[in-house]
């Protein structure tokens, strides 16, 4: 029975009280109510009581929503009528009916007559009636958790569980702690987490093992759920073969669900889950993970969702001791103190260990492992030593396939275990939910360790404590395996059982393994030494140094400065950055880092990682100073002064940018365990000193090729919006500036508006802090002040000084022009300076029209770059002195070829005012320069008085043009007037327009984005199809496919010329050997309107019938349609098979989607299940009869193949998609 059928059956049988409970929660969710008052229910029960209405809610406007419920089966008409009238009866409700916005009547009577519906609704337009069919549909699609909670309907196939079941399971789990206990000593963290859930779609809670992540996450989710009446679901951390199905079934359309994913790092369908969360706006997700897995998890989450990350700090020993006393009744003070101290913040360890030894000897407890050992020995008492040894091997490999060649299985066989014994023990562990087992389609049994706490203990016991195996040998044995198991095992030992003895053991074993690992493949050696560099610092530094020495040197400075992406893929950089934090090896690591930078042996993105926010800051965020950061700055600055290395300069610029942002993004904890976080430092005197140190370091680059960039950094750092800086900002900046006043002459050196603005900003910062301005402005000429004031007048930001062009005398206006032209070269000032230039030139034109043209000409000719065309000034001068005089005066000074846009505008002025023959001839003559000047729309003004000029201009242009701006001649293809003009002026001779069209495509392939110009030219020129096919054949792959995709729109264009072009291209793709690669883009596979149109299906049937005897062509057509929506795909394949009665296409058609049959974010298994549904639909729609039996047999074989793929996918998921 489907889930919706189960819900309908429950509604059919539901009694009144339970229905009221359901309806109250249902309406709360459906209408997003802020409150509900239940008059018809007895508090805390499923019993009803008299009340009118049964429920009401008060909105923010003070108006009411009333609801009445009934489970009546006999006289539903009268019951609904009476409920409606009662809700409107002031004597029964005490409420003025005018204050009621909505009246909702919920009932459980199936197949309500529309006559009854209309009769009740006729009483008042505010009445809404919701029946069981609608309720069932919403519960199935939007509120499945509510259906589970109230009606007992199963939650999908078991991958999600309700909170009460989750808590109950913790009580019965021997290897985890009781989640029903009170949350203690976490008030501040609890508030932060609840607030984060309120404000964010996703929240990640990470921390060390045993810190209480699951408990605080569960309680925070329950608090949010209760406050907002959202449903809380918990994703079972154990493997489920139905997880992908349940994600689609329960989450894809659900509303108001908060999902808790505990130990999210082990979730095998996380991408699918995140993909659904991204699409479903009414879904929140809270994830927990151990600190050591945080980086991989957050990287994955960040590619889908914005999220808030919270690190849960370990509890203090005092807090743990208090919890042991109050919650677990441990009275022995000495025991509490010893356990709490050794647990090192791991509450789970303390709880597990304290109870079993409450009355025993605890003097032998020396380290965290001892605590875990006490509890685990008790929990494992029911297993023989042989069984425990078997479990240890399962734990260290995490997954075991009982098949020849599997490393875990081979080791177990070598230890004397036989297949039957392993299977029997795995079955017992599976029953106890310690492992999960799965049998493949080939009958291979796989075992997956699920109990994480037990796994941690068994790994540490196996290697570090009882010596049942050599970790060095395990490293060598597994180093080349995907997701090398030794890495996870080492992290478990270090984080959960970390102690001096465990670290010493790991160090010794790593030393043994390194002698062989370093000679293996570079990827394997790099992975090992990067992971264990803090255990093997000397070896790591030597290995990295040798790599740098043997690598080729390169100048990668431009790539470093021009790249935003980062990568931590460099072994030498990772090691040097890591070991710079070691007091013993910091100096050596720093020298290695600088050497690596200078030689440029790594990729630019890797230097950006090392010098960016990821690697720039020290790992210890609790320190008060920035000693390491300052030493890095000194090292790079000194090296640049010695070597003048461009790589060093680039990295110094990136490093200072990171420090000036005051944001660190990476933190490393003990040994091999890492966590990542983003931290913005509070502004302190130490941070001010670091910022000052940055500018001291950058000062070595001031008089170099990097001068412009470092000066820009200085100016931007001390800039602010508005007329005055805010007080706090000013205080912070003053604390930096006061430390580097001796550097001001280095950074402020020019008589320019940008240096003037910087000086004004610094002085304002000082004045805001009640300090004397440090900078004199006497070195700036008046023109700099005037230019800055003119620009500020155009700026959208309130800045001073502000001056309008009308206020200045002519001499100051002309002097300011030079400064404005300089600023126009600066990208940040281009807009303001360009507008100011236009205003100044207009003012000059108004004041001195006789000399203005020469002033404009001199400024344009002498400008270091092409300043904007002063349109308003030219318009004014054309009217006052005449356009011909203006053109002659400008032409006498300015080279036409250097400033074509200026003379294009002069040509346009002539056209608008009626050109004479001489001017028209000059316009044609200018085409000799090979540029595009005027467009068809401009030339239309000339055509009435000079017929044929457009055709003449286009012919001349097509013969001389050699730049990529030809497309401007045509204008916007979305403007019907432009298309109509093309049709009108080139009907007699389309050749010039056709030539220009192909020239335009070469310069700007997508200018005719809707292909309107192409359709027009196809009608004008019969040779257009052949020429277009020739053009398409010479395109590169990307351009060709983009064009073919746009041409696919011709399927539904009611234009035979366009269809003939499309058909010619389809015929070519069907016959060419490589046509399969492009046939798909010739079909409108993503255009739902096209795929539902009659003309598309008529033309498709025509195409199929033409090729019905060609299996290869039918295959390509099916391939082209394989990525359409399922409805279209089913219809198309059914059409091909129906027309192909002889079965020529059998074994040739593409029945399945071409795009991977799913994706991580959409889920692979759900996509494959849809494929099966599609095949079943095709088989059902085929004509009956013996002729189609072979078709159906083939479809059945394909279906079986997909079912096998599903089993294989479950197998891959089980193994972590290795």
Please state the rounded mean pLDDT for residues 9-23: 91
Three-point CA angle 720, 721, 723, nearest 5°: 100
> Sheet containing 55-58: which strands, arranged edge to edge?
37-38, 55-58, 64-70, 100-107, 127-130
Which tens digit of pLDDT belongs to each residue from 67-103? 999 998 888 999 999 999 999 999 999 999 999 999 9
Residues 1168, 640: Cα–Cα separation, whole Å: 59
Q: What pLDDT is recorded for position 152?
A: 85
> Band of the pLDDT at 1156, cuts 50, 70, 90?
very low
Check residue 461 and report its DSSP letter: I
235 SS3 class: strand
Is the distance from CB of 783 to CB of 812 less than 8 angstroms? Answer: yes
Q: Express as a percent the part of the chain with pLDDT over 70.
A: 95
Q: What is the pLDDT confidence band of residue 1160, given thresholds at 50, 70 and 90?
A: low
- What pLDDT, on the 0 to 100 scale, is given for residue 1218? 41
Confidence of residue 801 (pLDDT cuts 50, 70, 90): confident
Instruction: Please list, in sequence order, all residues whose beta carbon lies within 8 angstroms of the beta carbon of residue 1169, skipping any fewer than 6 positions away.
Output: 245, 1206
Q: Does residue 622 have a pLDDT over 70?
A: no
- At residue 670, does pLDDT exceed 60? no
DSSP H/E element including 337? helix 333-343
**Mean pLDDT of all residues in 1032-1036:** 92
Q: Report the distance separating Cα 480 and Cα 147, nearest Å.
A: 48
Which band of pLDDT confidence, cut at 50, 70 and 90, is reported for residue 675? very low
516: pLDDT strictly greater than 60: yes
Burial pattern 170-180, b for ≥16 Cβ within 10 A else e, equals beebbbbbebe
Q: Give the pLDDT score at 738.
A: 97
Residue 648 · residue 597 · CB < 8 Å: yes
Q: Are strands 445-449 and 435-439 parallel, antiparallel or unpaired?
A: antiparallel
Buried b (16+ CB within 10 A) or exposed e, 802-835: bbebeebeeebbbbbbebbbbbbeeeebeebbbb
What integer pLDDT is reported at residue 460 of this predicted model?
92
Q: Tell which residue, 695, 628, 700, 706, has the closest CA to residue 664.
A: 628
Q: Is the pLDDT of residue 821 over 60?
A: yes
- Asked whether the bond before 53 is cis by omega within 30 degrees of 0, the reply is yes
The pLDDT of residue 669 is 37
Q: Would you state the CATH architecture of domain 155-313? A: 3-Layer(aba) Sandwich (3.40)
Q: Which residue has the higher pLDDT, 509 or 1159?
A: 509
> What mean pLDDT do residues 580-601 have?
95
Backbone dihedral region for residue 273 (phi beyond 0: left; psi -120 to 50: alpha; all else: beta): alpha
Residue 377 in this model has a pLDDT that exceeds 70 = yes
Residue pLDDT, tens place only, 1048-1065: 999 999 999 999 999 999
Q: Tell me the C-alpha distance between 589 and 582, whole Å.
A: 9
Cα 910 from Cα 942, distance rounded (Å): 10
pLDDT of residue 1124: 87
Characterize the bridge pairing of strands 160-161 and 100-107: unpaired
Of 728-737, 854-863, 1094-1103, give the lowest mean pLDDT range: 854-863
Any long-range contacts for 857-860 (C-beta under 8 Å, 24+ apart)? 857/889, 857/890, 857/892, 857/893, 857/894, 858/893, 859/814, 859/817, 859/818, 859/821, 860/894, 860/899, 860/902
* Least confident window among 92-96, 148-152, 727-731, 1024-1028: 148-152
Mean per-residue pLDDT of the chain: 89
Question: With respect to CATH, is domain 3-145 assigned 3.40.50.2000?
Answer: no
CA nearest neighbour of 468 among 483, 489, 450, 449? 489
Domain ranges, ordered by start, for the chain: 3-145, 155-313, 324-379, 532-681, 694-772, 781-913, 1046-1214
Q: Who has greater pLDDT, 629 or 334?
A: 629
pLDDT tier at 583, thresholds 50, 70, 90: confident
pLDDT for res 96 = 94
pLDDT over 90 (residue 621)? no
For residue 605, the SS3 value is: helix
Q: Is it the case that residue 359 has pLDDT exceeding 60?
A: no
Q: What percent of the chain has pLDDT over 90?
A: 59
pLDDT digits (tens, 9 = 90+) for 1190-1204: 999 999 999 999 999
What pLDDT is recorded for position 1142? 93
Terminal-to-terminal C-alpha distance of the chain: 36
- Which pLDDT score, from 0 to 100, does residue 744 have? 96
What is the pLDDT averaged over residues 703-730?
A: 92
- Alpha-carbon distance of 100 to 121, in angstroms, equals 15
Evaluate if residue 44 carries a pLDDT over 80: no
Q: Is the pLDDT of residue 285 over 90?
A: yes
pLDDT above 80 (res 914): yes
Q: Higher pLDDT residue, 340 or 1053?
A: 1053
Which of these ranges, 206-220, 315-329, 566-580, has the smallest mean pLDDT?
315-329
Six-digit token string for 235: 């994703």
pLDDT digits (tens, 9 = 90+) for 846-890: 999 999 998 888 888 887 667 889 999 999 999 999 989 999 999
CB burial readout 94-113, b (16+ within 10 A) else e: ebeeeebebbbbbbbbeebe
The 10s digit of each residue's pLDDT in 543-559 is: 999 999 999 999 999 99
Q: Which of 310-324, 424-438, 675-689, 859-873 has the lowest mean pLDDT?
A: 675-689
Mean pLDDT of all residues in 218-232: 92
Contact at 8 Å (CB) between 492 and 459?
Answer: yes
**What count of residues does the chain have?**
1218
Using alpha carbons, select from 298, 369, 212, 1106 the residue that is nearest to residue 667. Answer: 298
pLDDT of 46 above 90: no
Tokens representing 1185? 């009869």
Nearest to 320 by CA among 330, 307, 309: 330
């Amino acid at each position: 029975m489907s889930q919706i059928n189960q819900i309908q059956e429950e509604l059919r049988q539901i009694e009144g009280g339970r229905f009221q409970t359901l309806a109250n929660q249902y309406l709360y969710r459906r209408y997003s109510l802020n409150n509900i008052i239940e008059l018809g229910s007895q508090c805390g029960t499923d019993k009803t009581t008299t009340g009118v209405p049964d429920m009401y809610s008060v909105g923010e406007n003070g108006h009411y929503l009333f609801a009445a419920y009934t489970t009546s089966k006999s006289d539903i008409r009268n019951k609904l009528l009476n409920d409606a009238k009662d809700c409107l009866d002031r004597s029964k409700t005490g409420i003025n009916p005018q204050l009621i916005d909505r009246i909702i009547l919920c009932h459980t009577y199936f197949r309500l007559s529309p006559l009854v519906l209309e009769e009740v609704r006729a009483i008042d337009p505010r009445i809404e009636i919701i029946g069981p069919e609608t309720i069932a549909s919403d519960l199935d699609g939007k509120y499945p958790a509510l259906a589970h909670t109230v009606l007992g309907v199963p939650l999908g196939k078991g991958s999600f569980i309700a909170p009460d079941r989750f808590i109950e399971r913790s009580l019965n789990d021997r290897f985890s702690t009781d989640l029903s206990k009170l949350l203690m000593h976490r008030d501040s963290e609890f508030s932060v987490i609840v607030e984060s859930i309120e404000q964010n779609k996703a929240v990640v809670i990470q921390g060390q093992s045993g810190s209480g992540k699951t408990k605080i996450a569960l309680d925070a989710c329950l608090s949010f759920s209760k406050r907002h009446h959202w449903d809380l679901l918990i994703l079972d951390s154990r493997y489920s073969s139905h997880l992908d199905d349940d994600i689609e079934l329960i989450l894809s359309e659900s509303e108001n669900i908060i999902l808790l994913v505990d130990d999210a790092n082990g979730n095998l369908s996380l991408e699918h889950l995140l993909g659904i969360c991204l699409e479903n706006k009414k879904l929140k997700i809270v994830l927990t993970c151990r600190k050591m897995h945080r980086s991989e998890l957050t990287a994955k989450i960040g590619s889908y969702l914005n999220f808030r990350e919270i690190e849960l700090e370990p509890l203090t020993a005092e807090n743990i001791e208090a919890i042991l006393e109050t919650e677990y009744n441990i009275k022995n003070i000495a025991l509490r103190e010893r356990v709490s101290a050794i647990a090192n913040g791991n509450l789970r360890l303390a709880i597990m260990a304290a109870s079993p030894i409450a009355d025993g000897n605890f003097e032998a407890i020396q380290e965290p492992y001892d605590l875990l050992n006490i509890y685990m020995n008790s929990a494992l008492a029911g297993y023989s030593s042989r069984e425990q040894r078997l479990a240890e091997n399962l734990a260290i490999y995490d997954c075991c396939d009982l098949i020849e060649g599997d490393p875990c299985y081979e080791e177990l066989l070598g230890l004397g275990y036989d297949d039957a014994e392993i299977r029997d023990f795995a079955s017992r562990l599976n029953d106890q939910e310690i492992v999960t087992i799965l049998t493949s389609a080939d009958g291979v049994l796989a075992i997956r360790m699920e109990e994480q706490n037990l796994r941690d203990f068994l790994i540490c016991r196996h290697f570090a404590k009882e010596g049942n195996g050599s970790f060095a040998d395990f490293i060598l044995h597994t180093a080349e395996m995907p997701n090398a198991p030794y890495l996870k095992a080492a992290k478990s030992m270090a984080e959960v059982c970390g102690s001096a003895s465990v670290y010493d053991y790991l160090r010794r074993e790593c030393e043994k393994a390194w002698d062989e690992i370093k000679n293996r493949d570079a990827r394997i050696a790099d992975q090992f030494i990067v992971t264990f560099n803090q255990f093997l610092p000397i070896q790591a530094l030597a290995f990295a140094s040798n790599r740098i020495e043997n690598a080729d040197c390169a100048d990668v400075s431009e790539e470093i400065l021009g790249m935003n992406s980062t990568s931590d893929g460099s072994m030498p950089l990772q090691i040097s950055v890591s070991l710079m934090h070691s007091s013993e090896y910091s100096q050596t690591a720093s020298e290695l880092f600088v050497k690596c930078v200078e030689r440029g042996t790594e990729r630019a993105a890797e230097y950006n990682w090392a010098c960016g926010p990821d690697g720039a800051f020290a790992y210890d965020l609790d320190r008060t100073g920035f000693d390491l950061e300052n030493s890095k700055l000194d090292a790079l600055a000194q090296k640049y002064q010695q070597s003048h290395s461009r790589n060093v300069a680039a990295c110094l610029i990136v490093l200072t940018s990171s420090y000036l942002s005051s944001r660190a993004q990476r933190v490393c904890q003990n040994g091999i365990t890492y966590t990542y976080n983003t931290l913005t430092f509070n502004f302190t005197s130490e941070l001010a000193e670091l910022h000052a140190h940055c500018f001291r370091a950058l000062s070595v680059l001031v008089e170099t090729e990097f001068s412009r960039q470092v000066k820009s950094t200085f100016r931007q750092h001390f800039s602010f919006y508005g007329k005055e800086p805010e007080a706090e900002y000013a205080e912070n900046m003053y604390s930096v500036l006061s430390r580097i006043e001796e550097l001001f002459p280095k950074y402020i050196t020019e008589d320019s508006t940008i240096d003037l603005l910087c000086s004004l900003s610094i002085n304002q910062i000082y004045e805001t802090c009640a300090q004397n301005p440090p900078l004199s402005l006497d070195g700036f000429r008046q023109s700099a002040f005037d230019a800055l004031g003119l620009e500020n007048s155009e700026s959208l930001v309130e800045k001073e000084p502000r001056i309008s062009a009308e206020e200045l005398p002519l001499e100051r206006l002309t002097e300011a022009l030079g400064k404005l032209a300089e600023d126009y070269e600066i990208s940040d000032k281009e807009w303001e300076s360009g507008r100011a230039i236009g205003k100044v030139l207009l003012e000059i034109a108004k004041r001195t029209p006789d000399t203005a043209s020469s002033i404009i000409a001199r400024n344009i000719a002498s400008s270091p770059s092409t300043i904007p065309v002063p349109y308003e000034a030219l318009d004014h001068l054309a009217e006052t002195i005449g356009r011909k005089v203006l053109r002659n005066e400008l032409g006498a000074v300015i080279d036409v070829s250097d400033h074509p846009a200026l003379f294009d505008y002069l040509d346009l002025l002539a056209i608008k005012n009626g050109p004479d023959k001489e001017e028209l001839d000059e316009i044609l003559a200018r085409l000799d320069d090979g540029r595009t000047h005027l467009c068809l729309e401009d030339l239309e003004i000339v055509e009435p008085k000079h017929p044929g000029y457009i055709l003449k201009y286009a012919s001349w242009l097509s013969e001389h043009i050699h730049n990529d701006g030809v497309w401007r001649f045509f204008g916007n293809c979305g403007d019907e007037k432009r298309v109509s003009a093309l049709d009108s002026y080139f009907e007699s001779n389309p050749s010039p327009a056709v030539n220009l069209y192909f020239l335009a495509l070469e310069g700007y392939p997508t200018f005719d984005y809707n292909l309107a110009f192409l359709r027009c030219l196809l009608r004008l020129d019969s040779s257009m199809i052949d020429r277009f096919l020739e053009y398409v054949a010479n395109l590169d792959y990307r351009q060709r496919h983009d064009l073919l995709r746009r041409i696919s729109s011709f399927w539904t264009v009611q234009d035979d010329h366009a269809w003939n072009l499309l058909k010619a291209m389809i015929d070519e793709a069907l016959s060419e050997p490589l046509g399969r690669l492009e046939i798909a883009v010739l079909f409108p596979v993503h255009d739902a309107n096209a795929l539902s149109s009659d003309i598309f299906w008529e033309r498709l049937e025509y195409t199929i019938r033409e090729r019905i005897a060609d299996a290869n062509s039918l295959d390509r057509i099916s391939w082209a349609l394989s990525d359409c929506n399922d409805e279209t795909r089913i219809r198309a394949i059914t059409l091909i098979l129906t027309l192909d009665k002889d079965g020529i296409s059998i074994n040739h058609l593409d029945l399945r989607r071409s795009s991977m049959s799913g994706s991580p974010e959409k889920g692979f298994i759900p996509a494959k299940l849809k494929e099966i549904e599609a095949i079943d639909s095709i088989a059902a729609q085929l004509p009956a009869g013996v002729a189609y039996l072979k078709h159906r047999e083939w479809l059945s074989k394909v279906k079986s193949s997909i079912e096998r793929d599903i089993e294989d996918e479950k197998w891959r998921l089980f193994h972590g998609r290795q």
